[in-house]
Amino acid sequence: MEESELYIKSNLIRERNLNMNPYLHPLPPGSVRLSGPCGDTLDKIIKNRLLPLEMGHLTEPFRLRNEEDYLWRCEFWGKIVRSMILAWRSTGNAELLAKIRLAVKDILSTQTPDGCISSYPADKQLEGWDIWGRKYVMLGLLRYLRDVERDDKIETTLCRLADHLIAQIGEREIKTFGYHGGLAASSIINAFVQLYEVSRIRRYLEFAEKIIRGGCSTRHNIFEAAENLTPPSEIGNAKAYEMMSCFEGLAEYNQAAETPLYPAAVPRFYRLLHFHELMIHGTMGARDCYGELDYDCRYKQTRTDSGMLGETCVTATWLHYCEHQLMLDGNVMAANDAEITFLNAAIGSARYDGAWFCHINPSPLSAFSPKIPAYEQQTGYGEDCCVAQGPEAAAMAPYLAVMASPDGYAVNLYEAMEVRDLLKITGSYPYGPEAKITLKIPAPAKFELKLRIPEWWNDRCSLKVCGKECPAVPGSWCSCSREWHPDDVIDLHFDLSVRRIEAPGDPSSEAYMSGSIVLAESSRLPQSRHPLPDDAEFTDLPPHDGFRCLKAVSGGGILGDYASAGNLFRADDLLQVWFPRTPPYHTPYRRGFENPPQLKS
Ligand SMILES: [Zn+2]
């Protein structure tokens, strides 16, 4: 089948999901192609990480069912195939599609007559990461059905896999299996909701409902906890990635079901994460040596004793959670958060060539430290959860860049891109101040264009629609509803003057941002003396030495963008984000850890 036909067919599949009236929803496959920093990073990832992968290696544990050590080789097939499909969705890369098809055929062949697809031997099934791994197999196959093409054989395989799991669990509660107090196994909710959406078989939605009503954690009901505004570090066992995945499942359930469950939990949990956990570079996770736990990170990100910071799996899952906010109610805060995550933590987790990723972000952020490449998690297997998830984070950028809204479209990102039959963006943004949107519609049409206005928008920024100045409010949507004509132009001018950001809860520290770009000191650049004087000035330099963005500091030194700093992944390639400030501090000193969450063993 021709790729263009595939895209058209996918549009029809997507139509089914439109019935659920999400506020914003992604455009069909093949619509959005980015060529700014996110697009360039994705291209490198496809070329140097995804295409060279040997897919048979990922299917092997399922063929042999010999994962006897209760580990998670079972997650890699699904995670990687799902990220490949998301990468193909934007680029239409034919080689990638051929690989995806082979991988799908291969995993189907591992299903035994009882319906089981598992990497665990029969006597160990349901324990350890088994259910989690089956979830990722389901998510990989479901994304194939949703974004590539419908296929009855795959749908039947999925139904048999799901029925086998339901029968294996029987009357027991899924949260009593696996790791992290039930969070990992319970996060299979979204796979069952998506299977219901594809098959319309009610028992899959009912199974998801049962998991949700069970509360997902052996400690307490995590959805009730979020509705009661419990800080994330005190919900479940605080495992950021698995817990967010459960809330993702609830978000999907509430879009698919007639009657939502815990309707306040999804938006409240988003705000809890934003205000308790989100760090300056757009990721979360601290406390342990892997950067995987909610820990009031927003208030502890300048500390040197917070453990390692920012698992890349958390970054990718956070982007999905932002997607759910946009679909739920078009919350512009989620679009602003997503941009910061894309331009810093997400593309900054990839090595300069896109071939590998870091598991943890540099830790601490308040002293020179390196981006450490992820190591293989199971000796001899050669994979790491975050190396598998890194491509997903980058491939989310075209997925969310421009979305459909009830009355038109919403523009979330302003890097250079083409959106088929809709618009083209050119200009120097996000590293330079200009973005020019040119309408590329085939004929005049009346619709609404919602433009995301960043929170740092000020009166030195400007927005002109067809040459006419438009008022814009920081941190809002600017809605332009009119009859658009081919080649109509919207000009955005951003003020990218360097801003000093006071650390939340720690007024003795500051960081520097230019627009949505976090700036860092780098061992590859001449360094400044800190604290910087109040009257320090910053001058743009042309990008060089692998940096996407550079700012010379008056008095000496150069700051570079966080994403490019440290991206050689070498022990001598160091960066720092938080710096001491010059007293006096105008904000009352308010550490966020006066009431530390209970540490669990
Ligand atoms: Zn990970």
Give the percent of the chain with pLDDT over 90.
93
433 contacts: CB under 8 Å, gap ≥ 6 = 493, 494, 495, 496
pLDDT above 80 (res 325): yes
**Cα–Cα dist 22/219, whole Å:** 32
Q: Distance (Å, rounded) from C-alpha 403 to C-alpha 405? A: 6
412: nearest Cα among 463, 348, 339, 517: 339
**CB neighbours of 111 closer than 8 A, spacing ≥ 6?**
117, 157, 160, 161
C-alpha 593 to ligand 1 mean position (Å): 26
Distance 313 CA to ligand 1 centre (A): 4
**pLDDT at residue 590 tops 70:** no
Question: Measured in whole angstroms, how far is the alpha carbon of residue 303 from the centre of its chain?
Answer: 25
Q: How far is the CA of 143 from the centre of ligand 1 (A)?
A: 20
The yes-or-no verdict on residue 597 having pLDDT over 90 is no
Whether the predicted pLDDT of 198 surpasses 50:
yes
Locate tokens 């860049």: which residue?
Answer: 401
Is the model's pLDDT at 329 over the cut of 60? yes
Distance 12 CA to ligand 1 centre (A): 34
Ramachandran area for residue 216 (φ above 0: left; ψ -120 to 50: alpha; else beta): left
CA atoms within 13 A on the CB side of 15: 7
Cα 384 to middle of ligand 1, angstroms = 7
Whole-angstrom Cα distance, residue 547 to residue 352? 10
* 201 alpha carbon – ligand 1 mean position (Å): 32
Burial code of 59-68, b = ≥16 C-beta within 10 A, e = fewer?
Answer: bbbbeebebe
Residue 584 — left, alpha, or beta (φ > 0 → left; ψ -120 to 50 → alpha)? beta
For tokens 């003020």, the residue is 495
Residue 389 CA to ligand 1 centre (angstroms): 7
| Tokens 């740092």, residue located | 456
Contact (Cβ atoms closer than 8 angstroms) between residue 423 and residue 439 = yes
Q: What's the mean per-residue pLDDT of the chain?
A: 93
What is the C-alpha separation between 168 and 172, in angstroms, rounded? 9
Is the pLDDT confidence value at 589 over 90?
Answer: no
pLDDT at 71 (0 to 100): 96
The helices-and-strands tally (H runs, E runs) of the chain is: 18, 21
Give me ligand 1 centre to Cα 180, in Å. 14
The pLDDT value given to residue 307: 92
Confidence band (pLDDT; 50, 70, 90) for 505? confident
Ligand 1 centre to CA of 510 (Å) is 28
307 CA to centre of ligand 1 in angstroms: 16
- Is residue 178 very low, low, confident or very high in pLDDT (cuts 50, 70, 90)? very high
pTM of whole model > 0.75? yes
* Rg, the chain, Cα only: 23
Q: With bands split at pLDDT 50, 70 and 90, how would you rate the model's confidence at 601?
A: very low
521 CB neighbour count, 10 Å cutoff? 23
In the prediction, which pLDDT does 22 show? 73
Angle of the 312-329 helix axis to the 385-401 helix axis, nearest 10: 30
Q: In the structure encoding, which two tokens stand for residue 527, read together?
A: 């360094």
Token duo for residue 111: 């299903």
The mean per-residue pLDDT over the stretch 170-183 comes to 97
Token pair, residue 90, equals 């934007």
Reported as a single tens digit per residue, the pLDDT across 52-62 is: 999 999 999 99
pLDDT above 80 for 15: no
Average pLDDT over residues 41-59: 97
Confidence of residue 510 (pLDDT cuts 50, 70, 90): very high
95-129 tens-digit pLDDT = 999 999 999 999 999 999 999 999 999 999 999 99
> CA 566: distance to chain centroid?
21
Model confidence pLDDT, tens digit, residues 79-94: 999 999 999 999 999 9
Taking Cα atoms as reference points, which of 302, 249, 310 lies closest to residue 283? Answer: 310
- The backbone torsions φ and ψ at residue 404, rounded to the nearest 5 degrees and listed phi first, read -85, 145
The set of residues, in sequence order, having a beta carbon less than 8 Å from that of 210 and lying 6+ positions away, is none
Cβ(189)–Cβ(136) below 8 Å: no
User: Do the Cβ atoms of 394 and 41 come closer than 8 Å?
Assistant: yes
Q: How far apart are the first and last CA of the chain?
A: 54
Q: Confidence class of residue 156 from pLDDT cuts 50, 70 and 90?
A: very high
Q: Is 439 helix (H, G, I), strand (E, B) or coil?
A: strand
Amino acid identity, residue 95? E
Low-confidence winner among 307-311, 413-417, 589-593 (lowest mean pLDDT): 589-593
Please write the tens of the pLDDT for every residue from 518-539: 999 999 999 999 999 999 999 9
Q: How far is the CA of 245 from the centre of ligand 1 (A)?
A: 13
Residue 9: predicted pLDDT: 39
Question: Cis peptide before 430, with omega less than 30 degrees from 0?
Answer: yes
Largest distance between two CA atoms of the chain: 72
Q: Which of 320, 309, 260, 259 is nearest to 286 (CA)?
A: 309
Provide the CB-side half-sphere exposure for 33 (13 A, CA): 10
Amino acid at 564: S
The whole-number pLDDT of residue 582 equals 84
Residue 400 amino acid letter = L
Mean pLDDT of 31-56: 97
Closest CA to 254 of 197, 175, 186: 197
In the block, tokens 């208030």 appear at 299
> What whole-number distance in Å separates Cα of residue 526 and Cα of residue 538?
14
All residues with CB under 5 Å from ion ligand 1:
311, 313, 385-386
Distance (Å, whole) CA 323 – CA 88: 19
- Residue 210's Cβ-side half-sphere holds a number of Cα atoms within 13 Å equal to 15
CA-wise closest residue to 413 among 471, 334, 315, 468: 334
Average pLDDT rounded to a whole number, residues 188-199: 97
Query: What's the 63 CA to ligand 1 centre distance in angstroms?
Result: 24
Alpha-carbon span 597 to 601, nearest angstrom: 13
392 CA → ligand 1 middle, Å: 12
- Cα–Cα distance measured from residue 541 to residue 522, given in angstroms and rounded to the nearest whole number: 15
- C-alpha 564/C-alpha 547 separation (Å) is 5
Q: Are strands 369-370 and 462-465 parallel, antiparallel or unpaired?
A: unpaired
- Give the containing element (helix H, strand E) for 448: strand 445-453
336-352 core/surface letters (b: 16 or more CB in 10 A; e: else)? bbbbbbbbbbbbbbbbb
Give residue 198 CA to ligand 1 midpoint distance, Å: 28
Which amino acid appears at position 502 of this protein? E
Rounded distance, CA 56 to CA 61, Å?
10
Residue 493 binned pLDDT confidence (cut-offs 50, 70, 90): very high
Q: Sign of the C-alpha dihedral, residues 536, 538, 544, 548?
A: positive
pLDDT in tens, 453-475: 999 999 999 999 999 999 999 99
Q: Are 526 and 558 in contact (CB under 8 A)?
A: yes
Distance between CA 281 and CA 346 in Å, rounded? 9
Taking the centre of ligand 1 as the mean of its atom positions, its distance from the CA of residue 190, in whole angstroms, is 19
Please tell me the distance between residue 544's alpha carbon and the centre of ligand 1 in angstroms.
31
pLDDT digits (tens, 9 = 90+) for 237-282: 999 999 999 999 999 999 999 999 999 999 999 999 999 999 999 9
